[in-house]
Amino acid sequence: MCIPDKIQKGSFDMKNFEKYTRQYFPVENPPMRWAQKDYVDHPPIWCSVDLRDGNQALINPMTLDEKLDFFTYLVKIGFKEIEVGFPAASETEYEFCRALIEKNLIPDDVTIQVLTQSREHIIKKTFEALKGAKNAIVHLYNSTSVSQREQVFRKEKNEIIDIAKMGAELCKKYRQNAEGNYRFEYSPESFTGTEPEFAAEICNEVIKIWEPTVDNKVIINLPVTVSHSMPHVYANQVEYMCDNLLNRENLIISLHPHNDRGCAVADSEMGLLAGADRIEGTLFGNGERTGNVDIVTLAMNMFSQGVNPELNFENLPEIVAEYEKITDMAVYDRQPYSGKLVFAAFSGSHQDAIAKGMNWRKEKNCQHWTVPYLPIDPEDVGRVYEADVIRINSQSGKGGIGYILENQFGIFMPKNMKETVGYMVKGVSDNAHRELQPSEVYDIFEEHFINNTSPVKLKEAHYKQLGEGGIESNVTIEYNGKIMNDSATGNGRLNAVSETIQNMLDLEYTLHTYTEHAMEEKTSSKAVSYVGIKDKNGNNFWGVGIATDIIDSSLKALTSAVNNMLNA
Ligand code: KIV
Ligand code: ZN
């Protein structure tokens, strides 16, 4: 084994990297019970924060009508908890909340959630906004991280706890006079920059005031307001909270990961393993900065492991279109599960494996989805296999091109013809520097292989059965405008005609492949024949014939192959 004596260092020192430090507080000696599990077996309680966190991150926040449309759509997807806004923060948010309640737009099994800071006039206005709501969650938060305590609030820990307690008391007081079924949620905002012991302490003070019961559970939300650490550090923090919060059995532990490090999905999944019950996130990960956790990805990750996510993502293209229309945001082409290109296979080897995997499924009648390169069946999220998966460009290969011709055009080439066709089609794409549509693939195939009549055109062929099983054919062709006629024998009609043509044109080749199949068209059934011939230098030429009569189609295929040889 060769071990380098010195590990080579990169040659570039990026400026300012020493300016940064780790702003999180890992749990000391974490039990990491969660790390023994490999996956969740049921979905969390989902809470959409599209209309609040998502909305507050848009260049142009949604109008009231847009929010109403989005709310209706979230309900259609199956969300039972929806944070509708921060009613005390803007008139539109307030009006929106009122409109939902007054127009009776909230189904009985859906709970709206509203956010409030821990300040008296804001809490008061929040409760006013909720008047008449049947079910609601009042979401109280205050910042608890070291940087917020020191820099923004300039307060000591006990003063920060007082802010939370004051808000919790006020919520309790206002709820006493409210008629609806109101539940409470508390977020130690910037939780991931907070010492775990302090986060537990402040949450416990709130829990003591709210006194959760089995019938009135309290939600403790642990936001990754800004992502500072790797996901396992967060999972340890979540586990620590689950172990150190009072009255755990009457709490719902909620996660609210933002995506600064691109880890929001991992944070959520590991946080669920660590004991969380609920996820707050948005469609496609919209939200402040790099966004909130993408609920579509999380839910579809569960789906792809055989866990029912209990949200309806069966038509992702429609959901993408609706989301883009309302938010004016674009879903990235490679956004997991929902991006335009996420099921596309351009590369030849991938296409080949997918085509084989799909055939395997059919042959074996497989119960589970195991097709290579496709984590889920694109059809399960409303994608079309033909248009979305096998895409043809210069990277493609015989498998994918063959798949398109088979599945969209009913052309089942012999195995050894696929390579020739594959090179030809990808060559066209390479020259044009662009993707080819399936119809263009067929056009190339048709132009090069089907029923070629130049320079040789078969005019007539007559046969006579010979005594020992042979056939004599009398063939008339037009060759470069000249009519020629001759006879020869062979061990079948195709063979006899082939011998005659070779004699007439003084050609030398061997006919090595002949296959045929029926092709159903809308109005009639036609025969498709494939002929492969090899010249004396070992070069292969292919031809395809399509005709209503099988003999006719085989002779057309032969003539096409001969023409390809003559034109080479
Ligand atoms: O990201 C965050 O911390 C929030 C809180 C208000 C929960 O959005
Ligand atoms: Zn947030």
pLDDT, tens digit (0-9, with 9 covering 90-100), for 304-338 = 999 999 999 999 999 999 999 999 999 999 999 99
Confidence at residue 523, expressed as pLDDT on a 0 to 100 scale: 65
Alpha helix positions (H), 410-492: 415-432, 438-449
- Rounded Cα distance between 350 and 348, Å, is 5
Confidence at residue 468, expressed as pLDDT on a 0 to 100 scale: 77
Question: Which residue stretches of the chain have pLDDT < 50?
Answer: 1
Distance from Cα 173 to the centre of ligand 2, integer Å: 26
- 105 Cα distance to chain centroid: 31
- Sign of the four-CA dihedral 63, 66, 72, 78: negative
Q: How far is CA 150 from CA 144, 179, 542, in A?
A: 10, 39, 78
Confidence at residue 4, expressed as pLDDT on a 0 to 100 scale: 60
Confidence at residue 11, expressed as pLDDT on a 0 to 100 scale: 80
Confidence at residue 434, expressed as pLDDT on a 0 to 100 scale: 97
Residue 437, helix vs strand vs coil: coil
Distance from Cα 19 to the centre of ligand 1, integer Å: 26
Please choose, from the candidates 391, 96, 53, 77, the residue with its C-alpha nearest in 3D space to the C-alpha of residue 223: 53
Please choose, from the candidates 362, 482, 348, the residue with its C-alpha nearest in 3D space to the C-alpha of residue 404: 348
For residue 181, which phi and psi values (nearest 5 degrees)? -90, 95
pLDDT tens digits along 265-286:
999 999 999 999 999 999 999 9
Q: Where exactly are the structural domains of the chain?
A: 38-327, 348-438, 456-566
User: Residue 52 CA: which ligand 1 atom is closest?
Assistant: 8
**Fold of the domain spanning 456-566:** Double Stranded RNA Binding Domain (3.30.160)
Confidence at residue 3, expressed as pLDDT on a 0 to 100 scale: 54
Confidence at residue 514, expressed as pLDDT on a 0 to 100 scale: 98
Please choose, from the candidates 245, 254, 528, the residue with its C-alpha nearest in 3D space to the C-alpha of residue 405: 528
Amino acid making up residue 386: E
Which residue puts its alpha carbon closest to atom 4 of ligand 1? 225
Return the best residue to mutate from 84, 115, 234 for the ligand 1 pocket (most ligand atoms within 8 A of CB).
115
CATH 3.20.20.70 fits 38-327, yes or no: yes
- Rounded Cα distance between 500 and 476, Å, is 9
Confidence at residue 228, expressed as pLDDT on a 0 to 100 scale: 96
- Pair type for strands 482-490 and 456-465: unpaired
Residue 449, helix vs strand vs coil: helix
Distance from Cα 108 to the centre of ligand 2, integer Å: 26
Contact 338, 284 (CB under 8 A): yes
How many CA atoms within 13 Å lie on the side-chain side of 490?
21
Query: Who lines ligand 1 at CB under 6 A?
Result: 53, 115, 141, 187, 189, 221, 223, 225, 256, 258
Confidence at residue 386, expressed as pLDDT on a 0 to 100 scale: 79
Segment holding 1, helix H or strand E: none
